[in-house]
Amino acid sequence: MGIPGDTIVTGTVLTDTILSNYGLERRLGELRQRRMLLRLLRDDVDYAAGRLTAGDLTGSWRSGAQRGYDRRRSDLAGELRRAAGLLDAALTEVVAAIDQVGADLDAVPAPGRVPARGPQ
């Protein structure tokens, strides 16, 4: 099936190039979306960790419960900082994958213009 005058035939260099470009462009779009989402998540985690920074509880008037609460907040902030580090590592991997797919896309030869055959 196809439109009269189509030159696209399965298994030709032209269709292989078009399909390769489409697959690579789609993958590049997915990776860019993932990068954006990872950045947003990392920023949110960094912000949350900063808000949980331990307060100054050196005064003797602070109760044991207050000190325990502050200690737990500090522990949570540390866990969030570790999570941010893991997100940074994932982000680095995604950026490397984007670079690789971009290089692969640049390596795919551009399809030449193939004139459509007229009706026969």
| Model pLDDT for residues 28-48, shown as the tens digit of each residue | 999 999 999 999 999 999 999
**Residue 4 falls inside a structural domain:** no
Count how many domains the chain has: 1
Q: Say yes or no to pLDDT of 70 above 90.
A: no
| Model pLDDT for residues 52-69, shown as the tens digit of each residue | 876 665 666 678 888 888
- The mean pLDDT of 11-16, rounded to a whole number, is 45
Report yes or no: 24 and 104 within 8 Å, Cβ to Cβ: yes
**Residue 115 falls inside a structural domain:** no
**Residue 41 falls inside a structural domain:** yes
**Residue 2 falls inside a structural domain:** no
Q: What backbone phi and psi angles, to 5 degrees, belong to 9?
A: -130, 130
* Range of lowest pLDDT (5-19, 29-43, 68-82): 5-19
Instruction: Report pTM.
Output: 0.67
**Cα(28)–Cα(8) distance, integer angstroms:** 24
**Residue 60: which domain range?**
13-107
